[in-house]
A and B are shown apart, each in its own frame.
Chain A
Amino acid sequence: MTQGHPESTGIRNIGRASEIARFTDGGIDVRIEWPDEALMVAITVSRDESAFAVLYDRYVDLVYSASLRVLADAQLAEDTTQDVFVRLWRRPETFISERGKFLSWLMSVARNRAVDELRARGRRRKREGGPLGEPDEASTPLFAGECEDPPRSAELHEAQVLVRRALTGLPVDQQRALELAYFRGMTQQEIAFTLHEPLGTVKTRIRLGMQKLRRALEQQV
């Protein structure tokens, strides 16, 4: 008998999720085809280690890449990635499927954790009298147009292509403002200071950029 995967029920629906989890067995080979939300159900309800391993293998590169993009430091990016996944295992209930896709949630968690680390590092540097400039700012491209490695799945590949296409479709100054806010953790005033632009200009660029992205990615998110 071929085992299926639990439906994406939302982790709040614990009763049904427990029922589903009882029928889940067979290790990574089976779970590798499950959708993200089903794996999260298995993790939350059954403490399913195989499900966790599948999720890790599926998204570790994305989490690591986002962390590295924010921190520009391989060691710190590793630490951040480890922290994100360990927290996911210990507190999977923080993901609520009704609020959106798992991938968007995971990437938000990874980005926020990396920005926290970036700001903490900035405070440490400021305290220790080190340079305050952002690392690797000039050499790193804006939102990349292509991948270094082939994506793990067609779905992921498609999502990445969509996002990158939406971003590269924005004017460069809007891309830049979003980049500094999202990957550098800068506030609007800091962005205005960095770009030598008025605060109102920066706010407009972010607003317009987000509007265009919303239209372009309406189906994706």
Chain B
Amino acid sequence: MATVHITQEQADEYAIGSLEPQAERLVALHLGECLACRELARDSERLAGALALAAPRRKAPHRLRQRVMRGAGLMRPSPFHRVTVVARAAAGIAAVFVAVAAFTGMVSIRGQMGDLREHNDRLQAQIDDALSQKIEIAALTRGLDEAERNSAELKRAAASDRDLLLALMSPKTKVADVFTRDDGTFSIGRLVWDEDQKRVWFVARDLPQRPKGETYQLWANAGGRFYSLGIFAPDVTGFARYDTTVPQGLATYESAVVTVERAGGSNERTGPSVFVADLSGLRN
């Protein structure tokens, strides 16, 4: 098969670059293999190269020479340029130092902030612990106060019991039965009147709790006048024990009554009688 060579026309078109890209590639491939066609193409390229001389003449800028020489690596930098480069390098190094210092400072500040945050967390934990302890101490204090109150109450009760026992042993002490005025209740009580100690004990059981705003109040009747001996309240089991001193000036007495009065007690008897004790026949 005979080799197809390029024509002069194709060589010219190739040289001035007017071939389509695909045709241009085919021609270039052929030129790589065919010496004769390569010579033909070179002739066309020389002609095309001359065409560039037809361009309107323009003066190249003077600065271009420096650019080219520098680009080719042929221009030595001027002292001023060196100074500028050194100054720029120094400025760059200084900037790096500043940046490093700033970065280090930031890191340091961040570290300090982290330490402070950690310290703050520790303090907060300590505060929480202290608050917890304070709450526990308050609870313990309340419990202790209550225990003290209970203890005092028990002591007082024990002392009262001892006094009551002493009173019961005294020949001058008199005991009266206390009767409930309500036939529907089964309350039973005793009134112990100690002449020596000038003290009175009131003991009862199965006594109902009074509603809020009411209280039991003990009175002594002397010549038709009622002297208040105090107020009392039963415990949750209905047991009540109350002791008090006999008011001064009260030499004789005829009866004792327990009434229901408003909370805090009354100066004069106003409520209904719950218990009545006939004191005229007090027995030793």
Contact = CB atoms under 8 A, between A and B. Distances in A.
B281 interface: no
A141 B56 contact: yes
A197 B51 CA distance: 23
B46 A187 contact: no
Given A65-B55, A167-B54, A210-B44, A86 B49 contact: no
A55 to B, nearest CB: 11
B169 interface: no
18 contacts: A53-B74, A64-B58, A65-B55, A68-B58, A81-B60, A81-B68, A100-B42, A106-B49, A144-B56, A144-B57, A164-B54, A167-B51, A181-B17, A188-B13, A188-B19, A206-B18, A220-B50, A221-B50
A121 interface: no
Contacts of A12: none
Q: Which of A106, A159, A188 has the most CB of B within 10 A?
A: A188
Contacts of B55: 62, 65-66, 68-69, 143-144, 183
Interface string A166-196: 0100000000001001110111110100000
Contact of B74 (A52, A82, A164, A210): A52
Contacts of A60: 60, 64-65, 68
B50 A107 contact: yes
B261 interface: no
B57 A65 contact: yes
A210 B9 CA distance: 8
Contact of A221 (B9, B47, B69): B47
A127 interface: no
A87 B18 CA distance: 25
A86 to B, nearest CB: 4
Given A107-B53, A148-B58, A86 B71 contact: yes
A162 to B, nearest CB: 8
A85 interface: yes
A135 interface: no
Contacts of B20: 187-189
Given A68-B55, A104-B50, A167-B54, 5 more contacts: A52-B72, A64-B59, A68-B58, A100-B49, A151-B57
Contact of B68 (A56, A105, A106, A111): A56
Contacts of B74: 49, 52-53, 89
A128 to B, nearest CB: 22
A130 B61 CA distance: 29
B57 A143 contact: no
Nearest to B49: A104
B52 interface: yes
A148 B59 contact: yes
A65 B45 contact: no
B52 A181 contact: no
Contact of A85 (B9, B12, B58, B72): B72
Closest 10 CB pairs of A and B: A104-B49, A107-B52, A69-B55, A64-B60, A181-B18, A108-B49, A144-B56, A143-B54, A210-B12, A221-B46
B72 A86 contact: yes
B61 A78 contact: yes
A140 B45 CA distance: 25
Nearest to A213: B47
A14 to B, nearest CB: 21
Contacts of A17: none
B61 A163 contact: no
A117 to B, nearest CB: 13
Contacts of B44: 210
B38 to A, nearest CB: 9
A39 interface: no
Contacts of B48: 108, 111, 182
B18 A188 contact: yes
B16 interface: yes
Contacts of A106: 49
Contacts of A99: 42, 46
A44 B277 CA distance: 147
Contacts of A217: 47, 50
B88 to A, nearest CB: 23
Nearest to B58: A65
B67 interface: yes
Contacts of B69: 53, 56
Interface string A94-134: 00000111011111101110010000000000000000000
A203 to B, nearest CB: 8
A82 B67 CA distance: 7
A84 to B, nearest CB: 9
Nearest to B54: A143
